[in-house]
Structure 1
Amino acid sequence: MPKINVYLPDDLAEAVRDSGLPVSAICQRALEDAVRRITAIRQTALGELDADQLAARLPSFTSRAVTVIALAINAARDAGAPNVGTGHLLRAMITEGENLALRVLRALEIEPAALSWAEKDEPGGGPGLRYSTPAASALELLTAEATTLGHNYVGCEHLLIGLAAEPDGIAGRALREAGADAKSVRRTVSAALGGYAHLRATKPPAGPEELTAVVRQELRPLVQRIEAIEARLA
């Protein structure tokens, strides 16, 4: 059986050894999940895009994430664009209006509706309507982000990280110029999910304003812990 080396920071490697975790089985499962998600993205990116079939082709995506992608496809089609670009994805995320990614942006003190970018075509695509090269890359990045965070689903918050991390798309440039780089978005997503779990455990579901406030509160110590870890690993 072929072997793939996995390199870990010293602290994590020691913790894994002490815990006696079945590393091979865990890595295989994580890689299987990641390959399955990325394959689904690539099959969609390489074929004709049909919004009605998205949910079946992207089974690990949440309903809101599927809605956002469907909105992006429809917007690109209606505009006669040569492909579905990162700008279409970001605009669709804002249009959907209720997803966690928007609360993450507000926690970063960025009003989603105030984001602006020059509408222009991105490279890539082909016969029929397909993803642009940056959009396909962002969608692949989001599956890796979901796996890295230990999530068994793909949501709009992962899409936001993917868009912010993708270096060539117009959406990524708009997000980074507004202060939403991949690192800060990733931290805030972790804080948002932690804050949401806390609210659900202590009181009825909160509104967007309360969740945003909790995210900011959760984010402060999280950033401090991450910076301490990064300093040790530097």
Structure 2
Amino acid sequence: MEIEVTLPDHLATALDRIGLPVSALCERALEQALRRAETLRALPGADLPHYTERAKTALRLAYEHATTTVTTADLLHGLLEEGTNLAVRLLPVLGVDPATLTASPTTTENTGPAAAALELAHSEATALGHNYIGAEHILLGLLAEPSGIAGATLRARGLTLDTARTAVVAALAGFTRARG
């Protein structure tokens, strides 16, 4: 199948400058977008073998909270509502009171940022060398996703991806040491 793409001048110039073929770039972007959509659509009834039980519960709660489509605000709500996961336990340590985290009900968002946040959660877990996706990785994914309501809410409270990632690594290292 052939699809014609019209790019803004600044993107076309950047592609010319680095010599990347548009077709390869578009194909990769489309693959990522499809993977995000599949991830989000599969969640309500999916087995999700790589997700921890707390992360699965948080995702279920996010779906139950969503009015039409799942947003990053719903994902954050699911983490907070589950209440016992590492992400929620780290928030006060990072200077964020979980009780103050609510997204504005007048703000709308499509499913794109939520799907991207879950894909980023997977990337964060992989980058940390973890073979599972926990609530802490979902928190990192929410912070890494630049367009989501939840990430904006967390960043407005002073939380950064680097700080949260450092706290996750330290907490898990402490947990591993305590178990050993």
TM-score range, shorter chain: 0.7 to 0.9
Separation in 2, partners of 1:42, 1:148: 22
Q: Deviations over 1:172-205 (max 9, x none)?
A: 001011121111111110011011122233xxxx
Of 49, 57, 61, the match for 1:59: 49
1:105 corresponds in structure 2 to 91
1:35 corresponds in structure 2 to none
Task: Mark the CA change 1:50 to 1:133 in structure 2 (over 3 Å): closer, same or farther.
Answer: closer
- The residue type equivalent to 2:119 in the other structure is E
For structure 1, the residue ranges without an aligned partner over 5 or more in a row are 1-37, 124-131, 202-234
Query: May I ask how many residue pairs the two structures share in their alignment?
Result: 147
Alpha carbons 1:73, 1:88 under 8 Å: kept: yes
Q: Which has the higher contact order (CA 8 A, sep 6+)?
A: 2
Larger Rg, first or second structure (1 or 2): 1
2:59 aligned with 1:74, yes or no? no
CA deviation after TM superposition for structure 1 residue 98, in Å: 0.2
Of 16, 35, 38, the match for 1:43: 38
Alpha carbons 1:82, 1:121 under 8 Å: kept: no
Alpha carbons 2:143, 2:160 under 8 Å: kept: yes
2:150 aligned with 1:164, yes or no? no
2:149 aligned with 1:154, yes or no? no
Alpha carbons 1:94, 1:102 under 8 Å: kept: yes
TM-score by length of structure 1 reads 0.59
Structure 1 residue ranges, 4+ long, deviating more than 4 angstroms after superposition:
none
TM-score by length of structure 2 reads 0.75
Counterpart mapping for 1:104-183 below 5 A: 104-119=90-105, 120-123=107-110, 132-183=111-162
Separation in 1, partners of 2:136, 2:179: 18
Q: Deviations over 1:32-58 (max 9, x none)?
A: xxxxxx95x64242x4x663x23x1x2
- The residue type equivalent to 1:118 in the other structure is S
Percent identity (aligned): 44
- The residue type equivalent to 1:181 in the other structure is T
Separation in 2, partners of 1:185, 1:161: 7
Q: Deviations over 1:64-104 (max 9, x none)?
A: 1111111110111xxxx231000011011111010000112
CA deviation after TM superposition for structure 1 residue 165, in Å: 1.0
- The residue type equivalent to 2:163 in the other structure is S
- The residue type equivalent to 1:191 in the other structure is A
Separation in 2, partners of 1:75, 1:98: 18
Alpha carbons 1:164, 1:181 under 8 Å: kept: yes
Alpha carbons 1:115, 1:178 under 8 Å: kept: no
Task: Mark the CA change 1:50 to 1:184 in structure 2 (over 3 Å): closer, same or farther.
Answer: closer
1:215 corresponds in structure 2 to none
Alpha carbons 1:93, 1:99 under 8 Å: kept: yes
Q: Supply the RMSD in Å over aligned alpha carbons.
A: 1.9
